[in-house]
A = this chain, B = another copy of it.
Amino acid sequence: MSNIPTKTRSWILTNKPTGLATISGDKPTFTLETRDLPALQNDQVLVKALYYSNDPAQRGWISPTIPEGRLYVPPVEVGTAMRTRGLAEVIDSKSDKVPKGTIVSGTTDWNEYVVLDASAVTPVQPLPGGLSLTHYLGALGGTGLTAYYGLVKVCEAKKGEKIVVSGAAGATGSMVVQIAKNIVGASNVIGIAGSDSKCRWVESLGADKCLNYKSPSFAKDLKEATKDGVDVYFDNVGGEILDLMLGNMSMHGRIAACGSISGYNSDDEPTILKNYFQVITMRLQLRGFIIIDYLPKAGEALKLFREAIQEGKLKVGDENETVVPTKFEDVPKTWLTLFSGGNTGKLVTKLEG
């Protein structure tokens, strides 16, 4: 019992940010604190966090401008640890079902150690081919499911269609590219990403073309690349690229509004659409979605993913994630690289020490 910790370091939300989150200054977004762990109760486990998932959506959970009741989960409360999903090792247990030593996925939040109900964690099984368990946070978890259901259910993407995806080098976008090309059977898949090297990677995943949105000729390049039409646009970024796409969609085109990362750190900035009128004239459909609505059916998609991996249609491996070894003091810093284009594929924090 002597090695069981009684305290944990945690990154606490201390102020909701209006721009990029901070850890210093007058109103730091996050503050590193050490807190007592509660005593373990029956049917609970004490876990040590190993990996954290990093997701643009987390920024929405701490936004000061989303009104009450207009988010799909409760916002993170000031004074509590920043919310995240993670992988963790059970280091103490009062649950027969989840014994000590089990590796689980669950909502660890930004805690080194945390007491969770055993019913709230999911033991994870080894993956075939020696794949890293971190893929449960990405391609084989919520990220991959977001890509699949967004494309197949929200956009109703069909074989032979022309598909554009933004944030194509990101966790979700890079899965959209592969699913579009190799599972849906799109005739043309165009990615949009933030550097030439990311674009080459997106093309290596199967995109017919990938465009760098930081290029001065991007708007023109996009117009040219989409001149034969766009049936489906999977939007991870919102903002200006969404606006350009409204001007490039085919008649009756469908857009999945998955994210709007371009606006996540400018809470007071509105979305400005010069081409809104084309929603009407071109009869476009824009549908927002949140993956939690599809989780009850997730088994079906995950089965399909496993088959697709075996058939070589879905490449899931080290190159699909950016795993950043991180000291606990630097947890927010690693998360922030999401917004500076620091990752290709899923950004995963690997806790050191």
Contact = CB atoms under 8 A, between A and B. Distances in A.
Contact of A283 (B263, B271, B276, B293): B293
Contacts of A80: none
A288 B293 contact: no
B285 A285 contact: yes
Contacts of A293: 283
A67 interface: yes
Contacts of A279: 257, 286, 288
Contacts of A247: 67, 70
Interface string A276-308: 111111111111111001000000000000000
Interface string A31-71: 00000000000000000000000000000100100110011
Contacts of A260: 276-277, 280
A248 to B, nearest CB: 9
A240 B71 CA distance: 21
Contact of A70 (B276, B278, B286): B278
Nearest to A268: B274
A259 B288 contact: no
A78 interface: no
A277 B263 contact: yes
A70 B279 CA distance: 10
A128 to B, nearest CB: 34
B281 A72 contact: yes
A287 B290 contact: no
A67 B277 CA distance: 11
Contact of A280 (B63, B258, B274, B278): B258
Contact of A259 (B257, B280, B285, B290): B280
Given A260-B276, A270-B272, A286 B283 contact: no
Contacts of A259: 280
Interface of A: 60, 63, 66-67, 70-72, 238, 243, 247, 257-260, 263, 270-274, 276-290, 293
17 contacts: A60-B277, A66-B277, A70-B281, A257-B280, A263-B277, A270-B273, A271-B272, A271-B276, A272-B273, A279-B286, A281-B288, A283-B289, A283-B293, A284-B288, A285-B286, A285-B288, A286-B287
